[in-house]
Amino acid sequence: MDSLITSFWLDTEWSEIRKEVESRNIHPEKLLEEKLAPLQVRISESEGRLIGAMGRHYKQCSWDKTPVHYFLSETLYAGIITLETRFANSLDSFYWSLLFMSGIKNPYSLSLASDGDFTGNKESCFSYPDLHTPSLRLLYFMERPPTIPQDSSRMFSTTEKPRLEFHIGDKEAIPFFQNNLQGWQYTKLRKLLGYELPITPEISKKIEKEQLEIYSLVSEKEKEVINLESELKTRVGLVRATDGVIHHGTHTELTDEFVEYFRYGPVIREKQREIKELLEKAIKRRYHENGVTVSRELDAGITKIINLGEFFSNRKALLKL
């Protein structure tokens, strides 16, 4: 532990904290408390309201390669402020803990790097996922961009945005959630928090667009499967009618049912796998329960009404998902 402490204090940012601590003869925890005081006041005045945060750090994406590669990872945090909501400042978590805020009601986090889902926290807190940035360093330098790892030789993306930003109260948090979440994530968060997040026309358009995208992909691949199965049926019928000797005028093709199934089977199964993956994504997002009804103009004066909830519900039952 002593060597770890020494390496931290030799770091540039830790050195800045040390100089401030020594010049003012102040405890590091008190120094951080002073810096966070304005934000803590705002939090104390917002009991029962929303709080959102965005944490940014560089995450290693290659473990067995040299040079080491990193990418920018963003984590969104959401919860409800209580009378106990405060920044991490206890001696237990001051230097080493990744906890940066506690006393949150219904705390959830979501990595924006993938199409993942929200993760709850039973300890009523927010935690930063970067082991190299414990709470003291994170909170004291929150306005700065995340530090680039010293062993990095390739960065897939970098940022000048803060390593940690807060959106306190409904007026800040709601637009923050609307701008950074997909439509299905926003409605999911609404349910998780038990909070009436407004469904604006913009959010409704997001939801409709996301559902239609999966609907269109599934419909397209289903047509491809139907066409392939029809081709296979035709080919098998031709094989049976010709005993596998098919004359094309300029050449003769020799085949049998096994060859035809071998040719078409893997392609059909791959398309079916893709359909299943898309439907699993739709079901994960609860489209079979909250699917919207949309209209599409097929031709002049011809409109098709699409019940997306029914569409996904039927396929869920058909595939027993």
Confidence of residue 98 (pLDDT cuts 50, 70, 90): confident
Contact status, residue 23 vs residue 16, Cβ threshold 8 Å: no
pLDDT above 70: percentage of residues in the chain: 90
Nearest by Cα to 215 from 275, 290, 271, 273? 275
Which backbone phi and psi does 242 adopt, to 5 degrees? -115, 5
Residues 6+ apart with CB under 8 A from 237: none
Instruction: Give the Cβ contact number of residue 200 at 10 Å.
Output: 13
Q: pLDDT tens, 202-218?
A: 999 999 999 999 999 99
Domain ranges of the chain: 19-182, 204-319
Cis peptide before 67 (omega within 30 of 0): yes
pLDDT above 90: percentage of residues in the chain: 65
Tokens representing residue 133 in the block: 């940035």
- For the CA atoms of 111, 113, 117, 122, the dihedral, rounded to the nearest 10 degrees, stands at -20
Buried b (16+ CB within 10 A) or exposed e, 14-45: beebeeeeeeeeeebbebbbebbeeebeebee
Sort 7 into a burial class: Cβ within 10 Å, 0-12 / 13-18 / 19+: exposed
- C-alpha dist (Å) from residue 33 to 55, 86, 129, 204, 306: 20, 10, 22, 41, 56
Q: Please give the DSSP secondary-structure letter assigned to residue 250.
A: S
- For the CA atoms of 269, 271, 272, 275, the dihedral, rounded to the nearest 10 degrees, stands at 160
Strand partners, 293: 307
Q: pLDDT tens, 274-308?
A: 999 999 999 999 999 999 999 887 777 788 899 99
pTM of the model: 0.86
- What integer pLDDT is reported at residue 94 of this predicted model? 47
- Using DSSP's 3-state secondary structure scheme, residue 220 falls into helix
Sort 53 into a burial class: Cβ within 10 Å, 0-12 / 13-18 / 19+: buried
- What integer pLDDT is reported at residue 202 of this predicted model? 96
Residues 6+ apart with CB under 8 A from 210: 182, 183, 184, 285
Contact status, residue 38 vs residue 87, Cβ threshold 8 Å: no
Residues 6+ apart with CB under 8 A from 130: 55, 57, 58, 59, 98, 138, 146
Confidence of residue 92 (pLDDT cuts 50, 70, 90): very low
Q: pLDDT tens, 215-238?
A: 999 999 999 999 999 999 999 999
Confidence of residue 90 (pLDDT cuts 50, 70, 90): low
Give the separation between CA 274 and CA 281, rounded to whole angstroms. 11
Question: Do strands 152-155 and 68-87 pair parallel, antiparallel, or not at all (unpaired)?
Answer: parallel
- What integer pLDDT is reported at residue 86 of this predicted model? 93
Sort 249 into a burial class: Cβ within 10 Å, 0-12 / 13-18 / 19+: exposed
Helix, strand, coil % (nearest 5) of the chain?
50, 25, 30
Confidence of residue 42 (pLDDT cuts 50, 70, 90): very high
Confidence of residue 321 (pLDDT cuts 50, 70, 90): confident
Contact status, residue 309 vs residue 292, Cβ threshold 8 Å: yes
Give the separation between CA 139 and CA 88, rounded to whole angstroms. 9
- What integer pLDDT is reported at residue 153 of this predicted model? 59
Q: Is a pLDDT exceeding 80 seen at residue 156?
A: no
